[in-house]
Amino acid sequence: MNDNIIQTEKLSFSIGSKLILNDIDFTIRKGSITGFLGPNGSGKTTLLKLLSGIIKDKSFSIKSDTELKQGFIFQMVEQNLIPWKNCINNILIPFESLNRNKIDFEDVAHELLNELGLEELCYRFPNEISGGQKQLISIIRWLVYPTDILFIDEGWSMLDIVQKERIHSLIKRINKENKTTILLVSHSIEDIAMICDTCFLLSNSPGEIIDKLELKDGFVANNELIWTKAKKIFPTITKGS
């Protein structure tokens, strides 16, 4: 695999007779932050679930390291957190599930929450915190528990700009500190332009990759580039809409 962590060849996927994804070929570099931008129904979530093995299908080939440690941030915030565990225990779930001593990492989780000004959430239950806070807690989990690859299925489109900025910086931090490869699907151009270094544009149903953009020139230039190219997949949009 060399520097690549995932490589797909002719990935197509159908549910019943409906073709969801068609001939998807791409390579993901280790340590990169890759975004998949596409309209609703382009198969973004399905793609992440296929790549992470949540949906199993042997009809195509995905080459990846067999023992990758994976993390996943689901689109539905409720799916990320267990309601009967408080925030600190939710963050430490991966250690518990692997029967590893979570006490060693509890201090790390506390430090991180403190640093982010979220210490007061430690012993609250998911039911007692806002959607944005739930999202932050589920992201912090994967900062405390380092993974090789983190799949992010958008999920913060409803958050305010302050929360979004915190999430963006946390994701960059996971990528930098833990050397975690990040795969993000979104229909938000700003999210992709802000944190990704590569962006694949997916067409409407069935999802096909129609362009690959290298994003290296900072948010403004990235944003401009994606807006120009995004007209292929969102023909009716105008900037600022």
Partner 1 sequence: MDKSKKNISYYNKGFLVIILFLLIWECVVRLNWINDLVLPLPSKIFYEGGNLLSNSKFYSNFFSTLTNWSVSFVIGMFLGLAIGFISGLNSKFEQLILPITAFFRSVPPIALFPVFLILIGPGKLPIIVAGILGVIIYVFPIAHQSAETIKNKYQDLGHILKLSKYDFIKKIILPGTLINSFVSSRIAASYLFAVCIGGEIIIGGRKGIGAAILEYSEKYQLEEAYFYILIAGLLGLTLDLVISKFQNSFSLKQ
Residues that bind partner 1 (CB under 8 A): 49, 52-54, 70-72, 74, 78-80, 82-85, 93-94, 96-98, 125, 127-128
CA-CA distance, 152 to 52, in Å (whole number)?
11
Task: Report in angstroms how near the CB of residue 144 gets to partner 1 at its nearest.
Answer: 14
Task: Report in angstroms how near the CB of residue 25 gets to partner 1 at its nearest.
Answer: 25
CA-CA distance, 69 to 147, in Å (whole number)?
5
CA-CA distance, 133 to 19, in Å (whole number)?
36
CB closer to partner 1, 87 vs 226 = 87
CB closer to partner 1, 80 vs 223 = 80
CB closer to partner 1, 41 vs 53 = 53
Task: Report in angstroms how near the CB of residue 6 gets to partner 1 at its nearest.
Answer: 16
Task: Report in angstroms how near the CB of residue 88 gets to partner 1 at its nearest.
Answer: 14
CB closer to partner 1, 85 vs 229 = 85
Task: Report in angstroms how near the CB of residue 74 gets to partner 1 at its nearest.
Answer: 7
Exposure string over 94-110, b if 16+ CB within 10 A, otherwise e: bbeeeeeebeebbeebe
CA-CA distance, 87 to 135, in Å (whole number)?
11
Taking the CA atoms of residue 3, residue 60, residue 43 and residue 215 in that order, the dihedral angle to the nearest 10 degrees is 20
CB closer to partner 1, 85 vs 172 = 85
